[in-house]
Structure 1
Amino acid sequence: MSNIPFNPSLVGVSVVTTFLPNHSIPDEGHFTFAYTITISNASDLPVQLVSRHWIITDANEEIQEVRGEGVVGEQPVIPPGESYRYTSGATLATPLGYMQGSYYMVVREPMDVSPGELPTFEVPVAPFTLHTPTALN
């Protein structure tokens, strides 16, 4: 394993959200949102996203918890100085809510070791809002 010190704060996360009216049925309490996440690796070592944990809360304080391997069917390796972007979605019963969570990652050094044998570090994702265009007016 690498003896190089690693600073998890060098892995950053940014989020852009979009309400999807064509996939929503407001009269039935069905509000669908897309979120695009960019994970940036500002370290000198490759990192791999192994799993995720999301807590999705609507305006009624109803909580959905999601845990799973990777994102959108992938466990991407992000080389030093590069980023990985993906889009996924969430459906709420209200026009307003938020998501927060964590990614669990490993430093992929050396590359010939299975990710399961490497120490995991957590990259928190700060709460971000999911809302229809008029929900915050």
Structure 2
Amino acid sequence: MYESAAYTAETRGVRVKVQPSYLAGRSNPDEGLWVWAYQIEIVNLTGVPVQLLSRHWVITDATGREEVVIGDGVVGEQPVIAPGDSHSYASGCPLPTPSGAMRGSYVMETPDGERFEAEIPAFSLDVPGARTLN
């Protein structure tokens, strides 16, 4: 496993930090498969609880092909994050190229029913030594 830099974005007091890692042992470049894991930490810096309702990802490979993933919650959960608390989870992404990028957002909801999108920072998925996306 090869970890790269962490990426951070903050929207309306919700901080999202992403730490991607290349999984060489799960990848098979001879068959056109490169696999990454990523660890996400969502920190609630607001004064009220927020609930993560859904996610929206845009995954781009090195050829520029985009895949959009939209769904409820994260890894089967719609966590409520108390003020000053955080929620962490891990997930993964296979690509048909040795580099790519991901970006997205979470729909968050406050106790009074207000919804907003919290940015997931764009982050690179790069095999060590491979060309990076700009």
Matches of 2:121 and 2:58 in 1, distance apart?
A: 11
State which drifts further: 41-50 or 127-136: 127-136
- Structure 2 match to 1:26: 29
Name the residue aligned to 2:114. 119
Number of matched residues? Answer: 122
| 8 Å contact from structure 2 (residues 103, 123) kept in 1 | yes
Give the counterpart of 1:66 among 51, 64, 69: 69
Q: Is the CA contact 2:18–2:121 (under 8 Å) kept in the aligned structure 1?
A: no
Deviation at 1:64, TM superposition (A): 1.1
Local SS of the residue matching 1:43? coil
Are 1:45 and 2:40 matched, yes or no?
no
TM-score scaled by structure 2?
0.86
Partner residue of 2:103 out of 100, 104, 126: 100
Secondary structure, counterpart of 2:121 in structure 1: strand
* Alignment match, 2:127: 132
For 2:93, give the aligned amino acid.
A
CA–CA separation in structure 2 for the residues paired with 1:78 and 1:49: 8
Residues in 2 aligned to 1:47 and 1:119: alpha-carbon distance in whole angstroms: 10
How far is the alpha carbon of 1:131 from its aligned partner?
1.1
Q: Any stretches of 5+ residues in structure 2 without a counterpart?
A: 1-10
Deviation at 1:136, TM superposition (A): 4.4
Instruction: Give the helix-richer structure, 1 or 2.
Output: 1
One-letter amino acid of the structure 2 residue matched with residue 134 of structure 1: G
Please name the residue that 1:14 is paired with.
17
Superposition RMSD on alpha carbons, in Å?
A: 1.3
Deviation of the 1:119 alpha carbon: 2.8
- Paired residue for 1:112? none
Percent of counterpart pairs with the same letter?
A: 48
Query: Which structure has greater strand proportion?
Result: 2
In structure 1, distance between residues paired with 2:62 and 2:106:
24
Partner AA of 1:26 in structure 2: P
- Structure 1 runs (4+) deviating above 3 angstroms are none
